[in-house]
Amino acid sequence: MEFPGKISSDIVLADLNLPTVNKVDLISLLHQWNPSQRILAITDNPAPSQAIRAFRNGALGYMVRMDDFDHLVQAIRSVYDGRRYVSSLVTDQILDALVAGKNFEKDIDERISSREREILQLVAEGKTNAEIGKSLVISTRTVETHRNNLMRKLGLSSQIDIIRYAFKHGFITLD
C-alpha cells in the first residue's frame, strides 16, 4: 500500500478500533511511510500481546481508552519526548503474567502473513468473504484462499475457532 501524502505531524494517534483496518498493521504502515513518526496507539483492548505487536511495528505508546484524560496527556507528552508509554492496565497484566511464568512470545503468532491477519480480524468481526473482498479490493476466491491458509497454519477448523483465536490474541474485543 502506498501512502497518499506526507505525514507532517509531531504525533499520530492511531485508533486501533477502526473498522476494516488491521489494527496493528496500521502502525506498521504508518512507521514505513515515515520511520521518524511518533505513534501512540489507542485501543479498547488492554491485551499485552497486542501491545507488544504494536511496539514491534513502531509504536512508541500504547494507551487504553479506559484510562483517564490525565493519562492521555501523560502518554502524548511521553511519546512526543521520544519515550515509551504503556497504559498501567497493560503493565499490570504483563507483570501479573510474568510473575505467573507466562511467555508472551507464543501469543504473537508470526506464522500468518499481514494479509492473513487482516482476513482473520475481519472474519472475526463477522464479515462475509464477499464483504472482506470488497473492503480489501481482492476477489472472494482470494479471501477464501487466505482464510483457508490461516486456518491451516493456526490449526483452526471453524468460524468459532477463528473468533476465539482473534479474541484471545487481541484482534477483537467485547463491546
Are 95 and 130 found together in one domain? no
Question: Is 3 inside a domain boundary?
Answer: no
Of 106, 130, 153, which residue constitutes the final position of a domain?
Answer: 106
Q: Is the torsion defined by CA of 38, 15, 114, 154 positive or negative?
A: positive
Are 90 and 133 found together in one domain? no
Could you tell me if 90 and 69 are in contact, meaning their C-beta atoms sit under 8 angstroms apart?
A: no
Are 146 and 160 found together in one domain? yes
Q: Domain holding 27: CATH number? A: 3.40.50.2300
Share of the chain above pLDDT 70, in %: 82
Could you tell me if 36 and 7 are in contact, meaning their C-beta atoms sit under 8 angstroms apart?
A: no
Q: Residues near 117 by Cβ (< 8 Å), separated by ≥ 6?
A: 22, 24, 25, 150, 171
Question: Is 125 inside a domain boundary?
Answer: yes
pLDDT for the residue numbered 75: 95
Are 21 and 98 found together in one domain? yes
Answer whether residue 7 shows pLDDT above 90. no
For 52-96, the pLDDT digits (tens) are 888 888 899 999 989 999 999 999 999 999 999 999 988 887 787
For 48, the enclosing helix (H) or strand (E) is helix 48-56
Are 67 and 132 found together in one domain? no
Q: Domain holding 158: CATH number? A: 1.10.10.10
Question: Residue 137: how many CB atoms within 10 A of its CB?
Answer: 6
Total domains present in the chain: 2
Query: Which domain range does residue 129 map to?
Result: 111-168
Are 101 and 120 found together in one domain? no
Q: DSSP state, 63? A: E
pLDDT band at 174; cut points 50, 70, 90: low
Are 76 and 53 found together in one domain? yes
Higher pLDDT: 96 or 154? It is 154
Nearest-angstrom CA–CA distance, 37 and 8:
8
Lowest pLDDT segment from 24-33, 134-143, 147-156: 24-33
Mean pLDDT, rounded, of the chain: 81
- Helix %, strand %, coil % of the chain (to 5): 55, 10, 40
Residue identified by cell 476465539 is 164
Q: Residues near 102 by Cβ (< 8 Å), separated by ≥ 6?
A: none
- Arithmetic mean of pLDDT, 7-28: 70
Question: Is 54 inside a domain boundary?
Answer: yes
> Collapsing DSSP states into helix, strand and coil, what is residue 165?
helix
